[in-house]
Amino acid sequence: MLSKVASRLDLRRLILLLSVVVAAATLSNTLYSTYRVQKEQLIESTVEANRAYASKLSDTIDQFLDSAQQQVSFSASLLGKSHYNHEVAISEAKRLKLQTDSFNAVVMVDAEGNVITVSPDTVQVRGGKLQTPGAVEALTQRKPLISEPYVSAAGNLVIIVSSPVFDDGGTYLGYVGGAIYLKQRSILHNLIGSHFYRDDAYVYVVDASKTILYHPDPERVGKTVGENEVVDKVLGGENGGALVVNFLGREMLAGYSPVKSVGWGVVSLQSVERALLPMDSLIYRSIIGILPMAVIGILGMFWLSGFISRPLSQLAECAKNMQAPETSQKIISVQSWYFESALIRKALLQGVALTQARIVKLNKEVQTDPLTGLLNRRALSAVLDVLRTEYRPFSLVTLDIDHFKQVNDQYGHDVGDAVLKKLAGLMQACSRDSDYACRVGGEEFLILLPEVSLDAASEFAERLRVAVQQDAIDIVGSITISLGVAHWPGSADDITDVLKAADEEMYLAKQQGRNRVSVRPDRIDA
């Protein structure tokens, strides 16, 4: 199966396939690397953005609480100078509530915890005695403070920003308190909640006891946070960011920063899923940006693979027909512009030359007599087939060495072979280039003369007989030959009969005394 697949893959397809695989792998690796890097950068940047936002928000809360503390402290100093005059207290409570809107309610309390006045009037605690944790803490501590969150007498979750009132002699007269409701709209609530939240990002604030002071979900305000690494860190005074899992099991990118003045913590979060949404668009834009160049690259590789493989393809095609005469010229015309193909072309040219030389040698061995170099019976048969097909007339001269057995017996076969070679040379010397001289067996020879009449063939036979008789051979001296001549189609219709006729005339010449020419005359009806 593998060999079949390999046989269908040429160099061009292999180059193109390799290029596409490499390009696809490179593109995939690039996109994956881009995704990994961008993902890390998005996570890092989102965590850092959340940390920076939490830090900024904690500073803002710090500044707000400091400002609120200054406001109640200023009112406390005015009330101290008036020895906590009730009219002044009522006026100052209204001013403090309406001037900055920093508090949901402002309360003036004497040293025994009795409420002197409250603003707005809708808060029904005037004339009563406050026993709430914030009130008790303010009366006990007698110093500027921000209380822990608690549930007020009116049922609100609040914090109290308070400042003690002292007269000029340092006598404690009570305190001024500004209440900030944590579950209702307040300036602190607006300060935290009015910031821009991207997508599903949100912020929550916890106090030192892990009670949630602010959360986008009002139902969670006042609840206590359970095990939470980020909350532990921020309440421990750390400022930073982390990848965490929230109580719903979602991965979140958190930034956190402490509100140092009160020991609170601000946590800003955004889901990993939402933070990574821009990745889809980034990968899509990357693919769209890369795609045109990828198409151009593939087209370029398609052309380049053809350009590279063309010389080898042409050489491979030539290698299929190395025996053809025109193969060498085709190989030479191949533009082998790089080293390997030039080397293969050189090797093929050498191989073609060697192959064709071997073919020539084999053809010669197949069609020629190894001793004399004359054509053999196989070659004679092929020539006769051509002449018969083309219906070209010819004359036929057969000859035989007279008393050749005596030469072999007296001088040996080596000398006999020399005599045969000598006769072959004389036959070729007397023949034209278009004639065919053959050795048909032993000391019998034949010369085929295309387009030669019977009379001309008789004259040729006589010239050859004389030339052989007059040419002396070492050791042996001179030899003689007997010859028979026939013509086609004059002597017979069938070429085989013409061959027989020439042989019969040759034997007739021997019977008549040898060293002579005997001619088969043309038929009268020929």
In a domain, residue 524? The reply is no
pLDDT at 436: 95
Which of 222, 242, 275 corresponds to the end of one domain? 275
Examine residue 489 and say whether the peptide bond preceding it is cis (omega within 30 degrees of 0).
yes
Residues 65 and 212 in one domain: yes
416 is written with which tokens?
């006999």
Residues 63 and 211 in one domain: yes
Structural domain span for residue 293: 278-364
In a domain, residue 5? The reply is no
Task: Look up the CATH number of the domain holding residue 457.
Answer: 3.30.70.270
Residues 298 and 318 in one domain: yes
Residues 270 and 326 in one domain: no
Residues 233 and 258 in one domain: yes
Task: Look up the CATH number of the domain holding residue 266.
Answer: 3.30.450.20
> What residues contact residue 347 under an 8 Å CB cut-off, 6+ apart?
none
pLDDT at 19: 75
Query: Is the CB of residue 243 less than 8 Å from the CB of residue 272?
Result: yes
Residues 420 and 456 in one domain: yes
Residues 327 and 456 in one domain: no
Count how many Cα atoms sit within 13 Å of the Cα of residue 145 in the half-sphere of its side chain. 16
Residues 152 and 135 in one domain: yes
In a domain, residue 2? The reply is no
In a domain, residue 526? The reply is no
Name the stretches of the chain with pLDDT < 50: 1-6
In a domain, residue 1? The reply is no
> What residues contact residue 383 under an 8 Å CB cut-off, 6+ apart?
375, 436, 448
Residues 109 and 191 in one domain: yes
265 closest CA partner among 201, 190, 206, 193: 206
In a domain, residue 369? The reply is no
Total domains in the chain come to: 3
Residue 414: exposure state from Cβ atoms within 10 A (0-12, 13-18, ≥19): exposed
In a domain, residue 3? The reply is no
Residues 237 and 324 in one domain: no
Which of 230, 255, 275 corresponds to the end of one domain? 275
Gap between the Cα atoms of 175 and 111, Å rounded: 7
Residues 338 and 357 in one domain: yes
60 is written with which tokens?
């803002």
Residues 129 and 244 in one domain: yes
Phi and psi at residue 203, to the nearest 5°: -130, 145
Q: What is the pTM of this model?
A: 0.55
In a domain, residue 95? The reply is yes
pLDDT at 5: 46
Gap between the Cα atoms of 130 and 156, Å rounded: 14
